[in-house]
Structure 1
Amino acid sequence: MKNLIIFSHTHFENSRVNKALLKAAQDKAEVRNLEALYEKGKKEFDIKLEQDFLVKAEHIIFQFPLFWLNCPPLLKSYMDTIFLPDLLESRALVGKNFSLAISTGSPKQNYQKDGANGYTIEEITYNFRAMCLYIGFNFKSIFHSDGSLAMSDERLNDFCKAYQNFLD
């Protein structure tokens, strides 16, 4: 399997942008929708199964909407539970490509030094790059779909096409 998307969205039922992005990715990636698989954290992760998906993938993408400048809680729990010492010591993940696919409600200009948030998307997601160094992933890039709260259908369609290209 080339692409593996680990997807998390606390309020997926209300999502317009991430639903469209996942639909656009369906032929380009294996998708693990954490909230759907693990009932919003009420069911324990299948550690071995999730580790097997990671080991088989060439490119691992964490896709999520930015919540309070971070990832959703179930994705954080996934990282804490799945990236166990035995997996890391096996070095089975070393050299795999890793990317982020992040959506934000506000526009890209808010994610600049002089923007409303005061930090860039790269700065806000530094912890994922640090995780990559620790695990041995090759941090590839960030796909950022911004302005989701007021996104037109045309712009959403453009993002979906761009996401498909990103996954090629």
Structure 2
Amino acid sequence: MHNVRRSDYDVTNTVKVSSAPAVRDAVQELYERHWPGASFRPIARAFHDFELAFTGRMPGWFGVDTVYHDQQHTLDVTLAMARLIAGYETVHAGTPEAFGSQRAAAGVMLALFHDIGYLREKDEDARNGAEFTRNHVSRSAKFMAHYLPTIEFGHWVETCGEVVHFTGYERPMDSLKLAD
């Protein structure tokens, strides 16, 4: 008998990427291993709020209704991002190139909210989230600009608002500018 990877699990077949709590727990384990003593609270809150938003339980928002840019896709991307950051940190720990806990947390939350621009606000006149395909990345940046300060990550709004555009095609890559 061969080992079959389940479609709602990550590439290692160990984390259920259709479950926000399962992905949160996997990310927390990585985070606490690489940044012991750093607070995971903002990331945990982001996972909670992500699940509220994508399931339609966040006040003022409809849940996700796009087929691919859904909760599972986003959680899969978030777990991959956390693993990439942790791997980078393993190589660069103790050097000036290390990510550090704050940048790592911002990267994880950026991945978590990179497609939230597909969600419709209740007062918007759109039949479904797919109507936002052309500008969903800018909408995601706008969401993060309002959301990140509520979890004491307001100082990351500008950076996250720029970096999220690397996930889309609304702006040419050479127009994206980041501070060192």
Structure with more strand by fraction = 1
Kindly name which structure, 1 or 2, has the bigger radius of gyration based on alpha carbons: 2
Say yes or no: TM over 0.5. no
TM-score between both structures, scaled by the size of structure 1: 0.29
Higher helix share: 2
Q: Kindly indicate whether structure 1 or structure 2 has the higher relative contact order, using CA contacts under 8 Å at least 6 residues apart.
A: 1
Normalization by structure 2: what TM-score? 0.27
